Amino acid sequence: MVLGIIGCGKMGSALVQGALRSKSINKKRVFGFDKIPAAMVHFQKDTGCAVCQNLKELAGKCDTFLLATKPHDAAAVLSTLAKSLADKPALLISIVAGLTNDTMQSLLPATIRVVRTMPNTPALIGKGASAFSPGSRALAADEELTSRLLSSVGMSLKLPERLLDAVTGLSGSGPAYGFVIIEALADGGVRNGLPRAEALQLACQTLIGAAHMVLETGMHPGTLKDMVASPGGTTIAGLAALEKNGLRHALIEAVTAASARADELSKL
């Protein structure tokens, strides 16, 4: 495999760095291209990989591609890539929000296999949560390669494509919800006398610990919540305040709204 990165921004670079750390790829077999020269400079510095000056050059060197452009740039890139690849067999893995497998396959030659993915920003620190769905032309080896690439920066799940908009609304957009919750918890600590820095540390570690308890014990979050909430105690008082102010409903609506927007993007 010779991997070409189309879009050398933070996420594309993060996936390459993760794959390099896990030894899934060799930096001598990775090339990047971005329409913004500064992005290619940063890509070279961060990964140690070479860059190409245009898509045609990239297409000539590579047989596997990671599409990491902005959504509004994707169609033009795919059109150019289709002309450059002609009848050359290749794999295209996309992390572009809202770009469906059917759309990619309609813009590319029949020799190009595609896999749609949805990673999230914690991939930048190796803690990503990603999902992927192979197109109808994809091979088992393509799925394995995609899973290995995504798993190098966190966890990955194979899901039906019809669920990827929901993935976008939950884990794709979810880090932003988490940041708001962390900030609000820290604000609560400050309101009650804690210094800002210490409140933020406590908020972050508390959510990290809660998440690890769910993943490592396999217990339902509701069961773990009940273990903390003693009769007439402090936690149940806090939980009652969350219920009164609609935290559950707000989070469910946030995931639903983001999922709906992802569906809208796929139709543009």
What is the rounded distance in angstroms from the CA atom of residue 263 to the CA atom of residue 85? 29
Are 138 and 153 contacting, i.e. CB atoms less than 8 angstroms apart?
Answer: no
What letter represents residue 82's amino acid? A
Q: Looking at residue 113, what is its pLDDT?
A: 98
Predicted confidence at residue 266, as pLDDT, reads 84
* pTM listed for this prediction: 0.93
- Mean of the pLDDT values across residues 208-229? 98
Confidence of residue 160 (pLDDT cuts 50, 70, 90): very high
Task: Say which residues have a Cβ less than 8 Å from residue 98's Cβ, sequence separation at least 6.
Answer: 71, 168, 262, 263, 264, 265, 266, 268
pLDDT digits (tens, 9 = 90+) for 39-51: 999 999 999 999 9
Burial class (CB in 10 A: 0-12, 13-18, 19+), 20: middle
In this prediction, residues 99-113 reach a mean pLDDT of 95
- Give the Å distances, CA to CA, from 189 to 168, 197, 207, 230, 255: 31, 10, 14, 21, 26
147: pLDDT strictly greater than 80: yes
Residue 136 has pLDDT above 80, yes or no: yes
pLDDT at 268 over 80: no
Average pLDDT over residues 176-201: 98
pLDDT at 265: 85
C-alpha angle with apex 177: 172 to 178, nearest 5 degrees?
Answer: 100
Q: How many CB atoms lie within 10 A of CB 262?
A: 20
The torsion angles phi and psi of 18, rounded to 5 degrees, stand at: -65, -45
Structural element, H or E, at residue 28: none
Total length of the chain: 268
| Mean pLDDT, the chain, whole residue set | 96
Please tell me which residue, 110 or 86, carries the higher pLDDT value.
110
Q: Which domains does the chain carry?
A: 3-160 (3.40.50.720), 172-266 (1.10.3730.10)
Instruction: Give the pLDDT band of residue 87 (cuts 50, 70, 90).
Output: confident
> pLDDT band at 86, cuts 50/70/90?
confident
pLDDT score, position 44 = 96
